Amino acid sequence: MSVHTRIEGLGARAIAASHAGARLFVIGAKSLRGVFDRDYPKGEVARQMYVVGNKSLLFIAITMGFLGMVMVIQSGHQLNRVTGDLSQLGPQFLKLFIQEFAPTITALMLSTRVGAGIAAEVGSMKVTEQIDALRLSGITPTSYLIAPRLLACLSMGSILTVIAIVIAFTAGGISAWSVFGLNPTAFFDSSMVRTYDIVIGSVKALSYSLAIPIISGFCGLEARGGSEGVGTATTSAVIGSSFAVLLLDFMISGIGLMVFGGGV
């Protein structure tokens, strides 16, 4: 392949990527508008909330429980070696989980479970022309399919993040007490948590919960060519939403630090 055709290939790919970006933006905007059109079946949001919760609650509980334990034991050992003062273990742990770990890890799990589910469902509707049939019935697919999933992700994303914090903090406190004999009242101390931490954590949780259904829905709507196309859509949805979560994490943390100096 000559350098020339290679550059052409790159150019074509860049153009295709920017077109896809534009379509993603349009679908995002239409889905948000669909939230206000409320043109989806009755009870659909509740049904989708159940799907999101049912798919991820146990998964998130186990992961966050283990993560809480491991982090407390690891950092406890480190602290013991350096200062021997474990009084800040609980408060700092809580701060970190509210700001960073609970929303981000919950969202990464939602990307794999819920994102894949949305892409598979919407994608198979796309390849079997059900999406086309919806459009002909006078229904906008973004309003009908993505908007209720968006609302479900927004509400369940927040609820699951709170649950994640509670589980990780509890598991951490129990480990600190059983491994290091740390007094639970010293661990379960929320005095270090500032409004800033809660705001950053909430902004993250909400942005992730917007990004996951929109990106996954987009991947589903772009699917074509039978069951193979659905598989590709599902994979892209998981990769795309996970990547979006990490990117948003970086951006929101960065903006928080630059604009509010990390809340100090």
Partner 1 sequence: MTSSATPSSLIEFRDVHKAFGAKRILQGLTMEVGRQEVFFIIGTSGVGKSVTIKHLIGLLRVDQGEIHFDGERIDNLSEKHFYPVRKRIGMVFQHATLFDSMSLRENVALPLRKHQGLGTKEALAKSDELLERVHMGNFAHSSPATLSDGMKKRAAIARTLAMEPQVVLFDEPTTGLDPVNARRIDRLIRELSDDLGVTSIVVSHDLPSIFGIADRITFIYQGKAYKSGTRQDFEQSGDPIVRQFISGNSHGPMETPGF
Ligand X SMILES: Nc1ncnc2c1ncn2[C@@H]1O[C@H](COP(=O)(O)OP(=O)(O)OP(=O)(O)O)[C@@H](O)[C@H]1O
Please give the residues from 134 up to 153 whose contact with partner 1 meets the rule CB under 8 A.
Answer: 135-139
Least distance in angstroms from the C-beta of 132 to partner 1: 5
- The residue number with the shortest CB distance to ligand X is 224
Cβ atoms 178, 72 nearer than 8 A? no
Residues 26-45 within binding reach of partner 1 (CB under 8 A) = 41
Residue 193's identity, in one-letter code, is: V
Q: Strand locations in 37-121, DSSP E?
A: none
Nearer to partner 1, 139 or 174 (CB): 139
Among positions 213-232, residues that touch ligand X (CB under 6 A) are: 224-225
State the minimum distance, in angstroms, from the CB of residue 120 to partner 1.
Answer: 15
Residues 186 to 225 in contact with partner 1, rule: CB under 8 A: none
19 binds ligand X (CB under 6 A): no
C-alpha pair distances (Å), 177 with each of 81, 84, 97: 17, 15, 19
- Rounded to 10 degrees, the C-alpha dihedral 75/58/153/244 comes to 50
Is 84 or 138 the residue whose CB approaches partner 1 more closely? 138
Our finding on whether 135 is near ligand X (CB under 6 A) is no
Q: How far apart are CA 128 and CA 154, in angstroms?
A: 28
Q: How many whole angstroms separate alpha carbon 173 and alpha carbon 120?
A: 39
Site membership for ligand X, residue 38 (CB under 6 A): no
Does 23 sit near ligand X (CB under 6 A)?
no
Residues 6+ apart with CB under 8 A from 196: 256, 260, 262, 263
Name the minimum Å distance from CB 40 to partner 1.
Answer: 12
Judged by CB under 8 A, the stretch of 132-140, 149-157, 193-201, 244-252 that binds partner 1 is: 132-140
Work out the number of other CB atoms within 10 angstroms of the CB of residue 124.
Answer: 19
What is the contact surface with partner 1 in residues (CB under 8 A)?
A: 16, 41, 128-130, 132-133, 135-139
